[in-house]
Structure 1
Amino acid sequence: MRKTILITGASSGLGEGMAREFAKYGRNLALCARRTERLDALKQELEKAYPEIKVSVKALDVNQHDDVFAVFKAFKEEFGSIDRVIVNAGMGKGASLGTGYFYANVQTAQTNFVAALAQCEAALEIFREQNSGHLVTISSISALRGMPRAMTVYAATKAGLLALTEGIRADLIKSRSPIKVSAILPGYIRSEINEKVKNTPFMIDTETGCRKLVQAIEKEPVQAYVPTWPWAFIGFLMKRLPLKWVMKLG
């Protein structure tokens, strides 16, 4: 059993929801995000509801890469070991390229890929030292194809993260490491990153989505669509249909 779980971006959305679900499983939680007041409130809530678990919270801006390594190491020292790291922190800013929103597109690129790389590096340093652990990256169904408008850079970063995750797994297989690696591709789960998006088919609420995310993560798959239906089927189609048809699936 993975007793101690580190989640980045845990102050809201899917990170916060997954923390609540893992608390129900009796897991210790190492939670980090920029908004510490929300983390503190979550810690109090979870420790009151589940007094048998330990919850530790720390401030972390994942774009401060040195801080990523320092915070992960601090959690390791505090708990003795980290059994699973969920690379969840991300953002969805952006617009069509060439329309004057480079500042937003580059923020998304840096946060969703470069900062994710830092988190994977920091996690794997710990796991290699322990010779055990489970690295989980939260990609997206949008990673499977290029996407238009505000999704263009977001989808590209999630595709990059998906490829990075597979590369890490390949490296660990080659070295016969016991460390496990999973890429999770959520479909449409309501969260702060998409709260303004309306009339989206197949959208599920945050609580249901996070419950299904945790159920998938617990199985430690190589890759999983969440929820499986309809996203495994849609993913199959997305990888094979002409791009103009793919745009009609969402």
Structure 2
Amino acid sequence: MTEIEGKVVAITGASSGIGEATALRLASHGAKLVLGARREDRLAALAARLTTANPKAEVAYLAMDVRDRSAVADLVALAGARFGRLDVLVSNAGVMPISPMDDLRVDDWDAMVDVNVKGVLHGIAAALPVFRAQGAGHFVNIASTAGFRVTPTMAVYAGTKFAVRAISEGLRQEAGANLRVTIVSPGMTRTSVTDPTTIPGAPPELVETINAIAMPPDAVARAITYALEQPPDIDVGEVVIRPTAQS
């Protein structure tokens, strides 16, 4: 038995990247999973992969968008309906359409605020009353090393990740003795979000760096697992994880 075995864990942005890697790793530790993402076909494929690897694995999933507050509430409700409780919410969904401010890509700015910030707030709004009623619960909010350092083309993205860190720390201070809040701040990670081909106007030096040093998503999944493995009275406030080559 581990601290993770039997825990009910909901993950947003679960269909790829860090979310997918976290689902795979937590399933191997005996967690019961509730997976949320926009792409239902990817969720179904991941659920099938998990149950094929372990026929006893318990997995539920819901196609949803964290920009929709009711959809996040539905994901939390699915955990209760399927498993009777929710122990952990991993707010992982995020977007990173970076660009110079002069490009005035206002729609991209809105998307980053809506997904990266409001998506986390929607998760808190949905899960906090559940955790309070249970007398226990754990928020894991995915920020970024961009939440510590602003660089050109990444001002708005960094702003959203600064916000995630601030919101999470405020929540931790208000949480009390029975709730836990963990910020996980990854550096360059090889995911669809950081795929240079999907970042309009990405500076050549950024593309080169991502291709050269980005770490696998499972590195972040291991950090999340570490936070979840701690005894109930231990709160891992923040984990910063980056490639050793990242400045």
Structure 2: how far apart are the matches of 1:192 and 1:66? 26
TM-score, scaled relative to structure 2: 0.86
| Alignment match, 2:204 | none
Kindly tell me: are residues 170 and 139 of structure 1, through their superposed partners in 2, closer, same or farther at Cα, counting changes over 3 Å? same
Aligned partners of 1:143 and 1:155 also within 8 Å: yes
CA displacement at 1:26 relative to structure 2: 1.3
Partner SS, residue 236 of structure 2: coil
**Aligned to 1:53, which of 53, 57, 61?**
57
What is the deviation of 1:199? 2.7
Stretch of structure 1 that moved more, 92-101 or 40-49: 92-101
- Contact 1:76–1:126 (Cα < 8 Å) also in 2: no
Matched with 1:218 is: 229
SS in 2 for 1:194: coil
**2:203 matched residue in structure 1:** none
- The superposition leaves residues 79-101 of structure 1 with CA deviations (integer Å, 9 ceiling, x where unpaired) of 10111110101100132223231
Q: Which one of 146, 158, 161 corresponds to residue 158 of structure 1?
A: 161
CA distance in 2, matches of 1:208, 1:179: 25
Task: Give the match for residue 31 of structure 2.
Answer: 27
Q: Percent identity?
A: 30
1:193 is paired with a residue whose SS is: coil
> Structure 2 unaligned runs (5+)?
197-206
Match of 1:170 in 2: 173
Matches within 5 A, 1:7-46: 7-46=11-50
Displacement of 1:202 in angstroms is: 4.2
State the alpha-carbon separation in 2 of the partners of residues 156 and 222 from structure 1. Answer: 20
Is the alpha carbon distance of 1:157 and 1:18 closer, same or farther for their aligned partners in structure 2, counting shifts above 3 Å? Answer: same
1-structure distance, mates of 2:238, 2:223 = 14
- Aligned partners of 1:226 and 1:183: how far apart in 2? 11
Q: Is contact 1:213–1:226 with CA below 8 Å preserved after alignment?
A: no
AA aligned to 2:179 is I
Q: Which residue of 2 aligns with 1:241?
A: none
State the partner residue of 1:70: 74
RMSD of the alignment, in Å? 1.9
After the TM superposition, list the runs of 4 or more consecutive aligned residues in structure 1 that deviate by more than 6 angstroms: none
Determine if the alignment matches structure 1 residue 199 to structure 2 residue 199: no
Any idea what the Cα deviations from partners look like across 1:181-222, whole Å, max 9, x if unmatched?
A: 111111112111112133346421233443344334434511
Task: Give the counterpart letter for 1:43 in structure 2.
Answer: A
Ranked by relative contact order (alpha carbons within 8 Å, sequence separation 6 or more), the top structure is: 2
C-alpha contact 2:34 2:75 (8 A) present in aligned 1? no
Which consecutive residues of structure 1, in runs of 5 or more, have no partner in the other structure? 235-248
- Cα distance in 2 for partners of 1:37, 1:120 equals 26
- Quote the Cα distance in structure 2 between the aligned partners of 1:153 and 1:224: 22
Contact 1:90–1:112 (Cα < 8 Å) also in 2: yes
